[in-house]
Chain A
Amino acid sequence: MNTTLLLVGILVLAVGTFSLRLAGPWMRTRFELPERAQQVMAVAAVVLLAALVATAALTDGHGGAGIARPAGVLVGGVLAWRKAPFVLVVVAAAATAAGLRLLGVP
């Protein structure tokens, strides 16, 4: 494997990722945003996180994620909705998925 090319790839990914992360704060200091736009920015972050939840829970690569993982996330989601403690939400989600897999559910 070409080590130089690999190193360049890593560094470009690092600089690029850092720039993407810095872009938001940088733009916010350059341009004064109206209240309404600031509100939309916060909603945009929620929309992205929700879409991450949906895709991470239900898909794997370009296909489906099976049954165990969505079931685990569903259990965690219901517990969170019922205002269960955060730790319980996380542990229940993981335990459900792990338990189902132990039983042979994909």
Chain B
Amino acid sequence: MRSIWRTTDPGLLRDIALVCLADGVVGLSYGAISVGGGLDLWVPVLLSIVVFAGASQFLFVGIVAAGGSPIAATVAGLLVNSRHVAFGLAVSDVIGSGWRRPLGSHVMTDENVAFALGQDDLRQKRAAYWVCGIGIFVCWNIGVVIGALAGSVITDTDVFGLDAAFPAVLLALVLPSLRDKKTRTAALVGSVVALAATPFLPAGLPVLLALVGLVFYRSDKPALDAVR
């Protein structure tokens, strides 16, 4: 792990630290909202450690706190997390093998996948992925515990504009990849499809549907069978 710190340049570390901090604040609100909604402290805390996927956790506690069935909450959460399959296929080499695989898979988030994809070589990708993943895991869980204990300190992170900060984080990180015209076309088509599907489908599915944009990803060689 020490080599990871040596490969990571200070600028990247600062960027990652900022994202971890922001995730910690969202964790605060998640903990506070869960307990405020009438759930016991252990529910948001356990979810954060063993599930560790923000969007699905918000959805889960939202459904359960509103009196919904835990089964429905589980299904909804799994649907939202299904995009991790595609992320895993993309960052498999970055995660590594042996003990790194289960651990690295567990700390997989949108943010550290985006950070990894934005780096040039494998060493840098690994460093960005692991530092960001572990950093978010630590900050998120600390935030959740504090939020759940303190109750209503911060329940509405929209006041700070954090709901705008997270899409901006991901946008800034994928922008370099979008300079490639074929990738840009696929991403654009996929985003339009996801937006069009959002009013009609449960959370998680619209983003997954965006993968149809890959049909528009044409290579110079006619090897389209590999897409399917």
A interface residues with partner B (beta carbon < 8 Å): 1-2, 5-6, 8-14, 16-18, 20-29, 34, 36-37, 39-59, 61-63, 65, 68-73, 75-77, 80-81, 86-87, 89-99, 101
Contact = CB atoms under 8 A, between A and B. Distances in A.
The binding surface of chain A is classed by DSSP as helix
A9 B213 CA distance: 33
B90 A41 contact: yes
Interface of B: 14-15, 18-19, 22, 43, 46-47, 50-53, 56, 60, 64, 69-71, 73-74, 77-78, 81-93, 95, 97, 101-102, 104-106, 108, 110, 113-114, 117, 158-175, 177-178, 182-183, 186-188, 190-195, 198-200, 203, 206-208, 210-211, 213-214, 217, 219, 221, 223, 226-227
State the 5 A-B residue pairs at the shortest beta-carbon distance, nearest first: A24-B88, A72-B164, A76-B168, A9-B70, A51-B210
B214 A47 contact: yes
A22 B99 CA distance: 12
Given A10-B50, A16-B81, A41 B86 contact: yes
A45 to B, nearest CB: 4
B106 to A, nearest CB: 6
Contacts of A61: 203
B171 A76 contact: yes
A80 B178 CA distance: 12
The binding surface of chain B is classed by DSSP as helix
A43 B185 CA distance: 11
Contacts, number: 294
Contacts of A55: 191, 194-195, 198, 206-207
A44 B86 contact: yes
Contact of A90 (B52, B86, B168, B186): B168
Contact of B81 (A10, A20, A29): A20
24 contacts: A16-B78, A20-B85, A25-B101, A43-B177, A45-B89, A45-B90, A46-B174, A47-B214, A48-B87, A48-B208, A50-B174, A51-B206, A53-B167, A56-B166, A72-B165, A76-B168, A80-B172, A80-B175, A81-B175, A86-B15, A87-B18, A90-B165, A90-B169, A101-B159
